[in-house]
Amino acid sequence: MLVISRREVEELLDVDELIDAVASAMADLSAGRASVPNRVGARVADPDGLLAAMPGFTPSAGALASKLVTLFPGNTELPTHQAVIVMFDPASGRPDALLDGTAITAIRTAAGSALSVRLLARPDSSTLAILGTGVQARAHLDAVPRVREFGQVRIAGRDPARAEALAEQLAGELGLPVHAAPSYAEACGGADVVCATTHPVEPVVRR
């Protein structure tokens, strides 16, 4: 069985090709060709966490796979979502590959958002707002600008200092005009595209 590490996933995964692959998979799902049963999960009470199993078959890609993913919202040093993915031969059911799924989960989610922007956002969209400062914020800033050319990118989070640091870092890495906004409301005001990449279940109120 082929084993592919997170580092190898990050080196080999082509985000532009991934967005197109997500488009084909979504078309399969909408047409009823894909088999994607409801996920099942095991709860962890302390700390609050979840282990979920997500099998699926996508005919357009000939992909038969299952993902095991954990969701631990309280994580600070580690990602809240961590995963492994097992790929099977759809002709025989033989397990062919085990992949670190943490990076795939992050960028696949962002690729879905990028696909929606490609299909739904106005062609002249120029301002992107990213709500959140974690893994998904970074992934969305990698994927979404591939489908639209944004003249301004705003980042906002619960911690303004983290938003400032992330904006400064990504402006240098991506070569985009990335700025931190002092609040979610100010990030969203007048934005053409808004990506909610934050996990809180309670609204943030600042007085």
Over residues 128-154, the mean pLDDT reads: 94
pLDDT for 120 equals 97
Mean pLDDT of 112-126: 96
Average pLDDT of the residues in 113-121 = 97
Q: How many CB atoms lie within 10 A of CB 140?
A: 26
Is residue 173 within 8 A of residue 137, CB to CB? The reply is no
**Cβ neighbourhood burial of 146 (10 Å; 0-12, 13-18, 19+):** middle
pLDDT of residue 207: 46
Q: Is the pLDDT of residue 127 over 90?
A: yes
pLDDT at 172 over 80: yes
Return the structure tokens found at 144.
């979404």
Whose CA is closest to 193, among 158, 157, 143? Answer: 143
What residue spans of the chain are helical by DSSP H? 6-12, 15-30, 102-120, 135-143, 160-174, 184-188
Per DSSP, the three-state class of 22 is helix
Stretch 75-96: mean pLDDT: 94
Stretch among 16-30, 126-140, 171-185, 191-205 having the lowest mean pLDDT: 191-205
Please state the pTM of the whole predicted model: 0.86
Label residue 119 by pLDDT band (50, 70, 90): very high
Within its chain, how far is the Cα of 206 from the centroid?
27
Q: What's the whole-number average pLDDT of the chain? A: 92
Query: Average pLDDT in the 147-170 region?
Result: 93
Distances (CA, A) of 179 to 62, 162, 183, 184: 42, 12, 12, 13
| Average of per-residue pLDDT across 9-26 | 95
Tokens of 167: 């904006």
For the segment 34-74, what is each residue's pLDDT rounded down to a tens digit? 999 999 999 999 999 999 999 999 988 899 999 999 999 88
Residue 203 has pLDDT above 70, yes or no: no
pLDDT bin (cut points 50, 70, 90) of residue 95 is: very high
In the prediction, which pLDDT does 206 show? 52
Q: What is residue 200's predicted lDDT score, i.e. its pLDDT?
A: 66
